[in-house]
Homo-oligomer: A and B are copies of this chain.
Amino acid sequence: MGDRIVMDFAFSARAQNFIDRLRAFMDEHVLPAEAEYYGTLTTGARPWNVPPVMRELKEKAKAQGLWNLFMPEPEYGPGLSNVDYAPLAEITGRVPFAPEIFNCNAPDTGNMEVLAKYGSSQQKERWLKPLLDGSIRSAFCMTEPDVASSDATNMEATAIVKGDRVLINGRKWWSTGIGHPDCRVLIFMGLTDPDAPRHARHSMVLVPVDTQGVEIGRMLPVFGTLDEPYGHGEVSFTDVEVPLENIIVGPGKGFEIAQGRLGPGRIHHCMRAIGSAERALEMLCRRALTRTAFGKPLASLGGNADIIANARIAIEQARLLTLKAAWLMDTVGVKGAKSEISQIKVVAPSMAQSVVDAAIQIHGAAGVCDDYGLTSLFAHARTLRIADGPDEVHRSLIARLELKAQAAAAGIGTERGQAQ
């Protein structure tokens, strides 16, 4: 009967232990600190500060071992599987600034993973160590204003190898984290060899933020907010030079690394999106229970119960799909989970956007101002439908894989199976 334990929807004892401790930490320390955090955050133009309470919370989290939970390599963190990390990421997704408290925030997580997996020992020593420690922050410079980033091979900024140096030129934007006062390094992705095969043309290069020629431009507002103290910036690179060893793995390896980087990153976003949807549903229900119109609580009026039921159903389904994708990543790797990763990337942000939109509606005018944080949750969910590949690109990939599988099962010729 031993086989009965598979197809099990319970978390492992180890994950459950982390869940309990993380929830307690959120309840005890994070939720009560929300007002203070936002109250001491500099907004508007830079320079921004990091609210003092953030540093305190980080110390506490580190002391409790709630640190680098995302990091799969046991050398650098608790070494949790994706399945075990999923509920933890979800819990931190309830509060926009919470992931940083546990050193689990994008884009630092992705950058740390790249360095842990592909970095030279020198690169690890110089950049991974302080990132894991939380003492510095980093940015990732990939998206460009002048070309459609949905097709990453469009990238035009250049990283040309000249002897033992790399010469970098071009304009990037949506470089998240570039505005952080502690941001010290960025990973730049650019064209190295236009004549190489399509996915071997680009390189990833580590660039210290204070290198000559790196210019940080304006910070981009997202539905009116700047996401301080991280920010999403424009960065221009003019004849920037770094040593050849700053290239990760080697010239032309950019896409290979990107594939490895984006898989976990996408799923982390989805886990957190589910957490934010749960929080929105919680707010929706509380409002529905306590606000009265026409002599009844809103929960009893019209289609509001349907909205609540549909939200619950949508969250459950998105969570299960996220967990399955995580499980596939754990068991067969990112490549084998390609369709499922794209599936959750399509599902989770849209689902979160809908649930938050419903929560906004039931809060009435209070919903569209920032009093309940709903517009921030909305802006974040909406942005996720574009970041790390727009829905359209993911749907196209899912369909291609589906058609290929169906063509194979039906014995339909390959050239037709490759339609699309």
Interface residues of A (CB under 8 A from B): 3-15, 44, 81, 83-84, 143, 145, 147-151, 154, 173-174, 220-225, 232, 281-282, 285-286, 288-294, 296-306, 308-310, 312-313, 316-318, 320-321, 323-324, 327-328, 339-340, 343, 346-347, 357, 360-361, 364-370, 375, 378-379, 382-383, 385-387, 390-392, 394-396, 398-400, 402-403, 406-407, 409-410, 412, 416-417, 419-420
Contact = CB atoms under 8 A, between A and B. Distances in A.
A382 B378 CA distance: 11
B301 A392 contact: yes
B150 A399 contact: no
A368 B223 contact: yes
Given A3-B13, A223-B223, A385-B361, A419 B288 contact: yes
B302 A392 contact: yes
A290 B412 contact: yes
A192 to B, nearest CB: 21
Given A5-B6, A8-B5, A412-B289, A149 B365 contact: yes
B223 A289 contact: no
Contacts of A300: 419-420
B12 A3 contact: yes
A327 B224 contact: no
Contacts of A11: 6-7
For the complex formed by this chain, how many copies does it contain in all? 4
A282 B411 CA distance: 13
Nearest to A393: B293
A16 to B, nearest CB: 8
A309 B406 contact: no
A273 to B, nearest CB: 15
A305 B148 contact: no
Given A291-B148, A361-B391, A396 B343 contact: no
A286 B410 contact: yes
B299 A403 contact: yes
Contact of A282 (B13, B222, B224, B406): B406
Nearest to A378: B223
Nearest to A306: B303
Contact of A9 (B223, B289, B324, B379): B324
Contact of A5 (B5, B174, B400): B5
A313 to B, nearest CB: 5
